[in-house]
């Protein structure tokens, strides 16, 4: 079992526990940070049949009064409609300011539940029980919550920190390989940003046997960055390594290419562009690309530089005339470079050159 204590921007602290069996013991763990109260467990239609019973049993045994709300699995549940129904369900269960919501699932459930908890009664506490690698290494840390609007992803949201995150590594065993690869893309990204040992697990190690370490290292890095820059004015932008291209790829594919897979392609693009511009050695770029491939991720972009640049210019994160692009220098160090949006096409073109 691995335990980390995170500090929120308000100076509150909360635990992140990672290890085997936590869905069976979450009740007593949560009781250590919150005295027994009413809880609403929120889950999705894939996760609930697998894990809801054990979480309910554990919370009940620890003295919590348990309610449940299950939504359809999938990104479509990050909607205003589903959020509204969830808030009504909180009210129906008579949750008060001192009660809590528990998110049992992947990033969709974490984002939806966090948002609902953040606005119900102007904010109640919530706990995360991430069951995907992506939510464990990325989505459950940092306090961002959101739902999608018809006009785009994550357009409505708020910052709301959990009071505890408990990640049962056993739950990753039922995850589809495609979803494991999505999480791997973000973990490899973190390795490139600042943790060569994390990168090495994916380059030469056995990730399936090392999830506790992968998650702990990813959380530690993201937590450090997020603590320094909670609202993404500075260093938090580093976390967007590979993401400018990725967001364009996701949109051009009409979200047929998942986020993690798009991040892998975007990371390969900036790695090649860094080599072309003399920022990184070719050997390091080759190691990045081979490690992504070893993790079952794509590195070849099906779209052209011009169409990607056009989409990127529309991205909400590129509202100003300049955009911050993250370029790898070595495995474990990246730089932030501000450039005019008009320069993106040339950067993407450099990154597409020489792909298989
Ligand atoms: P997800 O929650 O949709 O989970 C992926 C799929 O796996 C779903 O079908 C789900 O039902 C299933 N699943 C979950 N756990 C399982 C398990 N243990 N066994 C079997 N199946 C399981 O998606 P995700 O990839 O976890 O997260 C993506 C979402 O996270 C996106 O909406 C993204 O915007 C968001 N996100 C948020 C942040 C943040 O900082 N808040 C960061 C990254 C991503
Ligand atoms: Mg991401």
DSSP string across 268-318: HHHHHHHHHTTSS-HHHHHHHHHHHHHTT-----SS-HHHHHHHHHHSGGG
What is the reported pLDDT for 356? 73
Residue indicated by tokens 């506790």: 212
Bridge partners of residue 338, in order along the sequence: 324
The residues, any chain, with a CB within 8 Å of residue 35's CB and separated by 6 or more, are: none
> Which mean pLDDT values do the consecutive 10-residue runs of the chain (356 residues) have?
92 96 98 97 98 98 98 97 98 98 98 98 98 97 95 93 97 98 98 98 97 98 90 90 96 96 98 98 98 98 96 67 93 95 95 89
Closest by Cα among 102, 165, 171 to 132: 171
Could you give the count of Cα atoms lying within 13 Å of 342 in the half-sphere of its Cβ?
Answer: 1
Instruction: Give exposure, 322-340, as e/b (b: 16+ Cβ within 10 Å).
Output: ebbbbbbeebbebeeeeee
Give the span between the Cα atoms of 315 and 306, in whole angstroms: 15
Quote the CA–CA distance of 286 and 184 in Å, as a whole number. Answer: 17
Phi-psi bin for 227: left (phi > 0), alpha (psi -120 to 50), beta? alpha
**Residues 126, 113: contact at Cβ < 8 Å?**
yes
Pocket test for ligand 1, best of 179, 239, 250 (most atoms within 8 A of CB): 179
Report the pLDDT value the prediction gives residue 33, as an integer from 0 to 100: 97
Q: Please identify every residue annotated as catalytic.
A: 122, 144, 186, 222, 232, 236, 240, 243, 247, 259
CA–centroid distance for 354 within its chain: 30
Q: Are strands 2-7 and 144-149 parallel, antiparallel or unpaired?
A: unpaired
Rounded Cα–Cα distance for residues 9 and 219 (Å): 16
In the reported structure, the alpha carbon of residue 179 is separated from the centroid of ligand 1 by a whole-number distance in angstroms of: 8
- The pLDDT assigned to 264 comes to 98
Six token digits for residue 31: 């009781």
Query: Coil, helix or strand for 352?
Result: helix
pLDDT in tens, 171-201: 999 999 999 999 999 999 999 999 999 999 9
Q: Distance from the CA of 139 to the center of ligand 1, in angstroms?
A: 8
Tell me how far apart the alpha carbons of residues 19 and 226 are, in angstroms, rounded to a whole number.
23
Domains in the chain, CATH or no CATH each: 2-174 (3.40.50.1970), 177-352 (1.20.1090.10)
State the ligand closest to the CA atom of 23: 1
40 neighbors 68 (Cβ within 8 angstroms): yes
Distance 61 CA to ligand 2 centre (A): 36
Terminal C-alpha separation, the chain: 42
How many whole angstroms from 19 Cα to the centroid of ligand 1? 19
> Which pLDDT value is given to residue 228?
87
The whole-angstrom distance between residue 240's C-alpha and the CA centroid of its chain comes to: 11
The pLDDT value recorded for residue 229 is 87
From residue 47, how far is each of 36, 51, 128, 293, 337 by CA, in Å?
24, 6, 14, 28, 40
Site residues for ligand 1, CB cut-off 6 Å = 44, 46-47, 50, 73-75, 78, 105-109, 111, 131-132, 134-135, 138-139, 142, 144, 154, 171, 174-175, 179, 182
In sequence order, what are the beta bridge partners of 48? none
Task: Supply the pLDDT for residue 320.
Answer: 61
Question: Radius of gyration of the chain from Cα atoms?
Answer: 20
CB count within 10 Å of CB 49 equals 11
- List the residue whose alpha carbon is closest to atom 37 of ligand 1: 139
Using alpha carbons, list the distances in angstroms from residue 279 to 145, 228, 326: 35, 26, 11
């Amino acid at each position: 079992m691995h335990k980390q204590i995170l500090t929120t921007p308000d100076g509150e602290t909360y635990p992140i526990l990672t290890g085997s069996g936590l869905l069976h013991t979450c009740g007593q763990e949560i009781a250590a940070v919150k005295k027994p109260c009413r809880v609403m467990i929120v889950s999705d239609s894939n996760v609930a049949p697998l894990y809801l019973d054990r979480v309910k049993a554990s919370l009940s045994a620890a003295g919590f009064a348990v309610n449940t709300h299950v939504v359809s699995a999938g990104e479509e549940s990050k909607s205003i409609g589903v959020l509204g129904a969830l808030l009504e369900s909180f009210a129906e269960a008579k949750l008060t300011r001192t009660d809590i919501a528990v998110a049992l699932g992947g990033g969709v459930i974490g984002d939806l539940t966090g948002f609902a908890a953040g606005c119900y009664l102007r904010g109640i506490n919530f706990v995360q029980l991430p069951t995907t690698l992506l939510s464990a290494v990325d989505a459950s840390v940092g306090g961002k919550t959101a739902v999608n609007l018809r006009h785009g992803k994550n357009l409505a949201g708020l910052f709301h920190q959990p009071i505890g995150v408990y990640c049962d590594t056993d739950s990753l065993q039922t995850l589809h390989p495609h979803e494991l690869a999505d999480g791997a893309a973000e973990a490899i990204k973190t390795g490139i940003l600042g943790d060569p040992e994390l990168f090495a697990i994916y380059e030469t190690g056995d990730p399936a046997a090392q999830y506790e370490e992968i998650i702990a290292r990813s959380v530690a890095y993201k937590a450090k960055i997020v603590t320094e820059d909670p609202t993404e004015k500075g260093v938090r932008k580093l976390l967007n390594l590979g993401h400018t291209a990725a967001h364009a790829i996701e949109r051009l594919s009409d979200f047929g290419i998942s986020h993690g897979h798009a991040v892998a392609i975007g990371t390969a693009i900036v790695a090649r562009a860094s080599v072309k511009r003399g920022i990184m050695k070719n050997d390091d770029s080759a190691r990045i690309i081979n490690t992504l491939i070893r993790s079952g991720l794509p590195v070849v972009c099906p779209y052209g530089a011009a169409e990607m640049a056009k989409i990127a210019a529309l991205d909400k994160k590129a509202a100003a005339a300049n955009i911050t692009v993250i370029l790898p220098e070595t495995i474990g160090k990246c730089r932030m470079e501000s450039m005019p949006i008009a320069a993106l096409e040339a950067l993407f073109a450099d990154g597409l050159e020489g792909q298989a």
